[in-house]
Amino acid sequence: MGSATRIDGKAMAARLHESISAETSRLAEQHGITPGLTVVIVGEDPASQVYVRNKKRTAEACGFRSVQHTLPADVSQDDLLALIDDLNGDDSVHGILVQLPLPDHLDEQAITQAIAPSKDVDGFHYVNIGKLTAGDTGDAFVPCTPAGCMLMVEEHLGADLSGKNAVVIGRSNIVGKPMASLLLAANATVTICHSRTADLPGVCRNADILVAAVGRANMVEGDWIKPGAVVIDVGINRIPVEVDGETKSKLTGDVDYAGAEPVASAITPVPGGVGPMTIAMLMSNTLRAAKLSAGID
């Protein structure tokens, strides 16, 4: 069994990192600019710390100037906003990223909207969201996960998705909605599904492109997949598994890989699919921010 091409996000990301590194050294040689990425992390959440370490390591490998601000879990909203204000005004900082989720006493929306749109390399500012929705992305930043997903879709189906049905499961501002905007811009016919959708399996069976971004382990079953579909699994779920009588946690996606793999034409694994591409797109956005700040694009 097994006919689907495994979409290797790790290998795609490695190719992207190579071209980003080359462009970064050209930027330094020709214009004396080093892209600067500043990551702000609040508290000690272990998963967040892993993500931040990966981002920092990748930024440094690309030749960026990488700075991390670690703030205590009880930091006040005013202090965090003051730091963002300083970073907005610092010309050596091209990208500002506040690692989510934030502790409950902080207003996530107020904080993400305080980042200057020109430094919002996560693509969460309403100015960037508006530009993406309007199809005016010349100087806008697209959220990293959907941007990476689109590159994976294009690798298999090309840049023009005319006549293709795309189904996105999940309507978050971070993945679902921007993913739908990108698919629409590429001429796909797009359906966005969520917890209130009637007959989700039936809707999925029409999808030539299926993007699952819902955060429920193995929710999408093999018989939901249209034969030959391209399946992009954004989910990262930890499930307990028994290994030699010990309970360990295993990463799994939103799609039942074993069930979908014989039916799909291409599918992303979890881990090793969308995750590495998300970080690669963050680097790509930061490099672009540095170039735009100097009027080069």
Catalytic residues: 55, 99, 122
| pLDDT tens-digit readout, 210-253 | 999 999 999 999 999 999 999 999 999 999 989 898 999 899 99
Distance CA 180, CA 177 (A): 5
CA 39 to chain centre: 16
Q: What is the pLDDT of residues 72-121, one digit of tens each?
A: 999 999 999 999 999 999 999 999 999 999 999 999 999 999 999 999 99
Alpha carbon distance 200, 255 (integer Å): 13
**What structural domains and CATH numbers belong to the chain?**
30-116 (3.40.50.10860), 144-275 (3.40.50.720)
Residues of the chain with pLDDT > 70: what percent? Answer: 99
